[in-house]
């Protein structure tokens, strides 16, 4: 039997890079970064550890591909109302990434620490940068402004995911925050005059709200440094 004729008759459950990456995401979600093991993964795929290496070069590449899959899915979600402003679209992109990293905390560490997959960076730059362009930022500043936005979004989301991680799914958030607040309030009054006062503000804060406030802050900075050119002065 010639190879060509058998092409379409492949076993549907055959291994493939895509199936491996999907399984890796599932394992990472269930067991965290430490839980992704070639043995655990191969068991998940009903094969041997060595089989994976036919489709993926090493663990680093696998982590990168898994990260790219999550980012791509997050950026594909946007419905994007046709009459929305660039600022609203940037908030939507940022929130989509924030929620994706919150749902897959290992992505945060991956995105902010290692250098990304070749495909991930353009994805992030494109969906953010289009709105930067629409905001009227001068062309010479596109790279700088877009990078700052992406860096803030990824950095803040990664930190949030790490904090959520240490808390655990069932622990009581209020009790935890209260403990941190008390620790801050007990710091040395001389060395930590500022942080001591922060405890109470941190106690009831909402991570998502805080993240969006940060996005708005950066957006305000963009507008302040690169005001949109309208024909005259504002009313």
Partner DNA sequence: ACCTGAACACCGTTCAAGT
Q: Which residues bind DNA (CB under 7 A)?
A: 14-15, 36-40, 46-51, 53-55, 58-60
Nearer to a second copy, 16 or 167 (CB): 167
Region near a second copy per CB under 8 A, out of 20-28, 41-49, 62-70, 104-112:
104-112
Q: Among DNA, a second copy, none, what does residue 84 contact (CB within 5–8 Å per kind)?
A: none
Which of 201, 229, 230, 235 is in the footprint of a second copy by CB under 8 A?
201
Q: Among a second copy, DNA, none, what does residue 37 contact (CB within 5–8 Å per kind)?
A: DNA
Please give the structure tokens belonging to residue 75.
């950026």
Which of 66, 71, 92, 156 is in the footprint of a second copy by CB under 8 A?
156
Tell me how far apart the alpha carbons of residues 207 and 162 are, in angstroms, rounded to a whole number. Answer: 12
Q: In whole angstroms, how close is the CB of 49 to DNA at the nearest point?
A: 4
Q: Could you tell me the sign of the dihedral formed by the alpha carbons of 51, 52, 54, 58, in that order?
A: negative
Q: Is 93 in the site for a second copy (CB under 8 A)?
A: no
Q: In whole angstroms, how close is the CB of 20 to DNA at the nearest point?
A: 9
Are 152 and 124 contacting, i.e. CB atoms less than 8 angstroms apart?
no
Region near a second copy per CB under 8 A, out of 23-31, 79-87, 89-97, 151-159:
151-159
Q: Among a second copy, DNA, none, what does residue 14 contact (CB within 5–8 Å per kind)?
A: DNA
Q: In whole angstroms, how close is the CB of 34 to DNA at the nearest point?
A: 8
Q: Could you tell me the sign of the dihedral formed by the alpha carbons of 153, 158, 163, 167, in that order?
A: positive
Tell me how far apart the alpha carbons of residues 199 and 177 are, in angstroms, rounded to a whole number. Answer: 9
Q: Is 219 in the site for a second copy (CB under 8 A)?
A: yes
Q: Which residues bind a second copy (CB under 8 A)?
A: 108-109, 112-115, 118, 122, 125-126, 129-130, 133, 139-140, 142-148, 151-152, 154-156, 158-159, 162-163, 165-166, 183-184, 187, 191-195, 197-198, 201-202, 205, 210, 213-214, 216-225
């Amino acid at each position: 039997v010639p190879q060509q004729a058998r092409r379409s008759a492949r076993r549907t459950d055959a291994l493939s890079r895509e199936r491996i990456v999907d399984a890796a995401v599932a394992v990472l979600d269930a067991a965290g970064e430490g839980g992704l093991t070639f043995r655990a993964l191969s068991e998940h795929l009903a094969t041997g550890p060595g089989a994976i290496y036919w489709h993926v070069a090493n663990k680093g590449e696998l982590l990168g591909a898994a990260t790219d899959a999550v980012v791509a899915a997050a950026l594909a979600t946007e419905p994007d109302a046709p009459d929305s402003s660039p600022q609203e679209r940037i908030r939507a992109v940022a929130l989509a990434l924030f929620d994706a990293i919150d749902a897959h905390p290992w992505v945060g560490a991956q995105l902010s620490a290692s250098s990304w997959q070749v495909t991930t960076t353009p994805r992030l730059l494109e969906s953010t940068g289009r709105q930067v362009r629409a905001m009227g930022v001068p062309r010479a500043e596109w790279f700088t402004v877009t990078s700052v936005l992406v860096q803030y979004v990824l950095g803040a989301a990664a930190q949030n995911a790490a904090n959520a991680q240490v808390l655990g799914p069932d622990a009581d958030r209020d009790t935890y925050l209260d403990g941190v607040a008390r620790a801050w309030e007990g710091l040395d009054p001389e060395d930590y005059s500022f942080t001591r006062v922060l405890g109470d503000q941190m106690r009831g804060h909402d991570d998502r709200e805080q993240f969006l406030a940060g996005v708005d802050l950066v957006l305000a900075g963009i507008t302040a440094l690169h005001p949109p050119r309208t024909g005259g002065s504002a009313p």
